[in-house]
């Protein structure tokens, strides 16, 4: 939903006022859910929100916000750890006493790879792709209309 919201902002920002109702319509959820996400974006410094008729605006350029930034702003991860791993495996069990030795390093590698990938994509990249898809859709609809009228 977070990326959907940013795609809407990037697509509609100069065309209409961006409100939680508009975003809720696009995402197809209750505006309360959108408002909660917007508060998280605001706390992260991504947007500014004007109550009433003001709408919202980007507080930071989309080129400077990565998918990792968004993930960290909206997901509840403790101590920066992507994977929650139980703390007290049974030391009386052969698997239990070895499971951290087996998995800790691997899970850290997976988390690092995911973070590196998320860090390599910006909100601006997502908005560019959104605009491209909308343009292609409009072009295809126009071509179809021309073909039907001919």
Torsion of Cα atoms, 10 then 11 then 16 then 21, to 10°:
-80
pLDDT > 90 fraction of the chain, expressed in percent and rounded: 73
What is the pLDDT, as a whole number, of residue 150? 74
What is the pLDDT, as a whole number, of residue 88? 87
What is the pLDDT, as a whole number, of residue 53? 66
Which parts of the chain sit beneath pLDDT 70? 52-53, 76-80
How many residues appear in the chain? 150
Calpha distance 141→137 (Å, rounded): 6
> Which residues, at least 6 apart from 126, have a Cβ–Cβ distance to it below 8 Å?
3, 6, 7, 10, 67
Q: Is residue 63 a contact partner of residue 124, using CB atoms and an 8 Å limit?
A: yes
Calpha distance 52→55 (Å, rounded): 7
Q: Helix 31-43 and helix 2-12: axis angle, to 10°?
A: 90
Domain ranges of the chain: 2-149
What is the pLDDT, as a whole number, of residue 75? 80
What is the pLDDT, as a whole number, of residue 65? 98
CATH numeric code, 2-149:
1.10.10.10
């Amino acid at each position: 939903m977070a990326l959907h919201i940013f795609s809407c902002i990037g697509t509609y920002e100069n065309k209409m006022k961006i409100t939680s109702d508009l975003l809720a319509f696009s995402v197809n959820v209750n505006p309360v859910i959108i408002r909660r996400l917007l508060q998280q974006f605001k706390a992260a410094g991504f947007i500014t929100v004007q109550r009433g008729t003001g709408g919202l605006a980007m507080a930071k350029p989309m080129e400077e916000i990565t998918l990792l930034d968004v993930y960290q702003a909206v997901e509840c991860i403790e101590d920066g750890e992507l994977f929650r791993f139980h703390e007290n495996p049974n030391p009386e069990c052969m698997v239990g006493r070895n499971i951290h030795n087996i998995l800790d390093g691997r899970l850290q590698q997976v988390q690092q790879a995911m973070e590196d990938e998320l860090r390599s994509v910006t909100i601006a990249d997502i908005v560019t792709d959104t605009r491209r898809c909308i343009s292609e859709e409009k072009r295809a609809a126009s071509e179809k209309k021309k073909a039907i009228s001919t």
